[in-house]
Structure 1
Amino acid sequence: MYFTNSVLALAALAGSVSAHTLMNSVEVNGQDQGEGKSTYIRSPPNNNPVKDLTSPDLACNVNGGKPVSDFVKAAAGDTLAFVWMHNKPDDDIIAESHKGPVITYIAPYTDDAGAEAVWTKIAEDGFDGQQWAVDRLIANKGKAEFKLPQSLKAGKYLVRQEVIGLHEANDAYTDDSARGAQFYPSCVQVEVSGSGDAVPNQDFDFNKGYTYQDPGIVFDIYAKNKTLDYKIPGPDVWSAAAGNAKRSLRIKGRVAGQV
């Protein structure tokens, strides 16, 4: 069944009170590392999105340039789950209307906000033909899993995961500041052990690499009678982490309103 753009837009607005999200904690191989807000996560003061692609907050959100005291300890090859919430653990995570991808990057550890060419994509999850990554995030009780590359060199890193809400992304933020894609980035301090020698090398800069001409950022998920060809923004998943790209494929032959 198809819905009109206006009906779906109203539904998105109705869910806006419970819409936003932020990261609460991390699991390593299924083991809870305890609440991480402002402990090993450089947590923003609230769960509001970033929408301005020129803002340094796009990298690690508000407070992204304020180091915290602890590091999550993990080995190369471990499975990590970043656990998201709306306001408190086990709540509604994010509004179902906020469909979009979940993307994970890594950078060498830095005390600053990470608003520079230091990032490498290690995992992505978009639209698989039936559901968006946000649908899976909600179904998985806020957990977004990925593997640290087996060959990753030991050391201290920032690992950045973002949820992108595309429910108002048919308009660019520069055209209508009340709309636009909503970015929910969060950066975790991680200390990696292991004997690998692979150094992340994509040198991606969010303020330059994400643009309002990017079809993965300005995209109408409610459009009718259109072939869906959604391309996750940013570079390809780093070759050392290629196994984390299982849902990065483009899906054709479906209309966006059927998600």
Structure 2
Amino acid sequence: MMYSIASALALASTVAAHAQVYGVWVNGVDQGDGRSAYIRSPDNNNPVKDLTSADIVCNVNGGKAVTDFVSAAAGDKLTFEWYHDNRGDDIIAASHKGPIITYIAPYTETDGTGAIWTKIAEDGYDGSEWAVDKLIAAGGKADFTLPDGLAAGQYLIRQEIIALHESDAAYNENSARGAQFYPSCIQFEVTGSGSAVPDQDFDFNTGYTYADPGIVFNLYGSFTSYTIPGPEVWDGASSGSGSSATKTAAATKTAAATSAAAAETTAAAETSAAAVATTSAAEAVVVTTSAAAENTPAPTPTFSTIVTSAAVTKVESETTPVATATGSPSTGCGSRRRRRSARRSIKKLNGSI
């Protein structure tokens, strides 16, 4: 029942609900009535619903170039002033909630169809309020800023309201319903020293579809967010369509450099670890040997320990570990007498052999 009442109210307000652009303000300065002067104004304020129609781009008179241009510099604040029947009236029915989206394209005298558009501003649903609610509260004025780096030249700037009060069904399935589009295209002469050229190359006839969740949307259902249709807002500095590729390439280069650095760090760490392990092992051997040498007294040569057989010498050399003495040799009279006695014993043994 709630849905039926809401739908009935929306239908009842349809006749008095529509809107179009009256004029433009540049940095707060009114540029005057722009209808059919610098605005390619439609004959009436009826909505466009067919996404395959050329009218979805710049409305029914989008292909009729007008004589004037609004002059603005890159970085200027622009305000599009919307109205219903007369300037300053009810603007648009409060039931026509939805986003306000702004695009720019190189100037053309044609109807604006084709892949020439770049998104420069958008306002949708912030969790409690729609862009259309803000438009009504501001007396029909919707603000945005021209990108600072925008190259000088002539452009078409397109702003649209998408009213979602009947968007629960797709227009191609039910022509009595569907999202209502209110596009308006305005001719601009942009000045400045910027060099950035918008190039998202968005095409409304193929970029907007009936499968888009921002175009087929149940305004009366339960929701906490809304997906604005179209591309991301252009940053105004890098190329539009190329920005993602540039960022991807940069990310890939960074990842490769990081991986290489990580590999070098790992290899260095492994080499250092191996060196530490080897050094530690060598130190352990030295410590063990030194300890053994310190704890093992130097053998005293006696006759019983003198080698008399080559075979015995070989066996003993293979089976007896060598202790390395690290202390100073023994000194004193007793030691000298023992050495002389040992030498005499060796001489006697050699003589008997």
The reply to whether TM is greater than 0.5 is yes
The residue correspondences of 1:1-259 to structure 2 (distance < 5 A) are 4-223=2-221, 226-240=222-236
| Residue type at the aligned position of 2:201 | D
Distance verdict in 2 for CA 1:39–1:241, change over 3 Å = farther
Residue by residue over 1:120-153, the C-alpha shift from the partner in whole angstroms, topping out at 9 and shown as x without a partner, is 0000000011100000000000001000000000
Tell me how far apart the structure 1 counterparts of residues 235 and 22 of structure 2 sit (CA, whole Å).
29
Q: Distance in 1 between matches of 2:174 and 2:185?
A: 28
Residues 127 and 225 in structure 2, CA contact (< 8 A), matched pair in contact too? no
Alpha-carbon deviation of 1:234? 0.1
- CA shift, 1:88, in A, is 1.2
**Equivalence for 1:255:** none
Q: What secondary structure is seen at the aligned counterpart in 1 of 2:56?
A: helix
CA deviation string 1:39-82 (max 9, x = no partner): 00000000000000000011100110000000000000000000
One-letter identity of the residue aligned with 2:233: V
Q: For residue 7 of structure 1, give the secondary structure of its aligned residue in structure 2.
A: helix
Give, in angstroms, the shift of residue 13 of structure 1: 1.2
Give, in whole Å, the separation in 1 of the partners of 2:235 and 2:170: 31
- The residue that corresponds to 2:243 in the other structure is none
Shift of 1:229: 3.0
Q: Flag the structure with higher strand content.
A: 1
CA distance in 1, matches of 2:90, 2:237: 30
- The question of whether the paired residues in 2 share the 8 Å contact of 1:81 and 1:145 is answered with yes
Alpha-carbon separation, structure 2, partners of 1:189 and 1:241: 22
Q: Considering only aligned residues, what root-mean-square deviation do their CA atoms show, in Å?
A: 1.2
Give the partner amino acid of 1:142: G
Q: Select the structure with the greater relative contact order (CA < 8 A; seq sep ≥ 6).
A: 1
Question: What's the offset of the Cα at 1:228?
Answer: 2.7
Distance (whole Å) between structure 1 residues aligned to residue 140 and residue 25 of structure 2: 12
More helix by share: 2
CA–CA distance in structure 2, aligned partners of residues 141 and 184 of structure 1: 17
| Unaligned segments of structure 2, at least 5 residues | 239-353
Instruction: List structure 1 runs of 4+ shifted beyond 6 angstroms.
Output: none
Q: How many residues align?
A: 238
Q: Residues 58 and 206 of structure 1 are in contact (CA less than 8 Å); yes or no, is this contact kept in structure 2?
A: yes
Residue type matched to 1:140 in 2?
A: A
User: Which entry has the higher C-alpha Rg, 1 or 2?
Assistant: 2
Look up the equivalent residue of 1:228 and give its one-letter code.
T
Deviation larger for 9-18 or 71-80: 9-18
For structure 1, the 5+ residue unaligned runs are 243-259
The CA distance in 1 between the partners of 2:203 and 2:169, in whole Å, is 23
